Amino acid sequence: MRIPLVLLLALPLPAFAKPKAKSEPTPPPPVAAPAPEPAPPEPAPPEPVEPAPAPRLKNVTLNVTVTTVGGSSRSIAVTGLERAEDFHADRGWTSASGDLKITLEVGKSEKEVAWTEVKSITIVPGKMPDDVDCSYNSDFNPFMYECSIRTTTTAVLKDGTKGAVITRNKWRLSPEEGAAAEFYLYKHTERMQGEATEEDQFEDPGMYTKLQQAMRESLKTTVVKSITIQ
C-alpha cells in the first residue's frame, strides 16, 4: 500500500536524544598554605656577672687589739696594712713599704719604726673646745669642713723605747675576712661637706658647730684610745 507523501511529511520525526555534555571534573579543594614557623623565642638575657672581689691585701701578719673610748674592744688578725696617701685618704691608700712606718719623736730626734716593732700605742684626746682646730677646704664642691682635736699619742716599742707619735695620716688595718679598722693615731678629725653647691660659696660657720657636736659624740664612743700588738 502506498502512503501518500503528505502523510509522511506530517508524521513527526523520531526524537533523538541529545548527547550529554561532558561534566567538568570537580576541582580539588584548595590546599591551605602551611602556617609560618613560629619565630624562635628571644634568647634570655645573660645573667649579670658579679665582678670578682678584689683580692685582699696581704703584706703583714699582726695580732692587734683596738680599744675605743666607749669601751669596745676588737681583736684583729691583720693581714693588710695601709696608710692614707694624704691625711684623710682623699687620694686613696698606699701600701708601699716606705710609707708604712710610724714617725716617733724620741727625745730631740725623730725615728721611723715599723708596726712590727711596736708593742702598744695609747691615744689621749685633748679638751674641747680648747684643743680643737677647725678649717675648710675650697678644693671640694661643696666645701669640705673639718675639725681636729689634738692628741697626746705615745708608742712603746718592743725594745722598751717610748716616743710620741706624730704621723698624722689615717691608717687602715684589714683582716683576711671582715671589716677593716680605720683610725687616726695623731689628731682625730671629723669631716663634713657643706650643703651649698653654688659656684661662689662662702664659709659657713654653722658647719663647725655641727662638726664639734659630732666630735663630742665620737669622744664618748668611737675614738680609738689604745692599740696593743702581739
Residues in the chain: 230
Return the pLDDT at 139. 92
Distance of CA 56 to the CA centre of its chain: 15
Give the global pTM.
Answer: 0.75
Q: What is the edge-to-edge ordering of all strands in the sheet holding 188-193?
A: 132-137, 144-149, 188-193
With contact defined as beta carbons under 8 Å apart, do 186 and 88 qualify? no
Q: Is 227 exposed, middle or buried (0-12, 13-18, 19+ CB in 10 A)?
A: buried
Cα gap 122→164, rounded to integer Å: 10
- CB neighbours (10 Å) of residue 147? 24
Q: End-to-end distance of the chain based on CA atoms, in angstroms?
A: 162
Largest distance between two CA atoms of the chain: 179
Cα gap 115→173, rounded to integer Å: 11
Cα gap 89→82, rounded to integer Å: 10
> Cell numbers of 182, please?
680605720
Spell out the per-residue pLDDT of the chain, length 230, in tens. 454 544 444 445 454 455 555 566 676 777 677 777 777 788 888 888 877 777 889 999 999 999 999 999 999 999 999 999 999 999 999 999 999 999 999 999 999 999 999 999 999 999 999 999 999 999 999 999 999 999 999 999 999 999 999 999 999 999 999 999 999 999 999 999 998 777 778 999 999 999 999 999 999 999 999 999 98
Question: For residue 222, what are the contacts with CB-CB under 8 A and spacing of at least 6?
Answer: 68, 69, 70
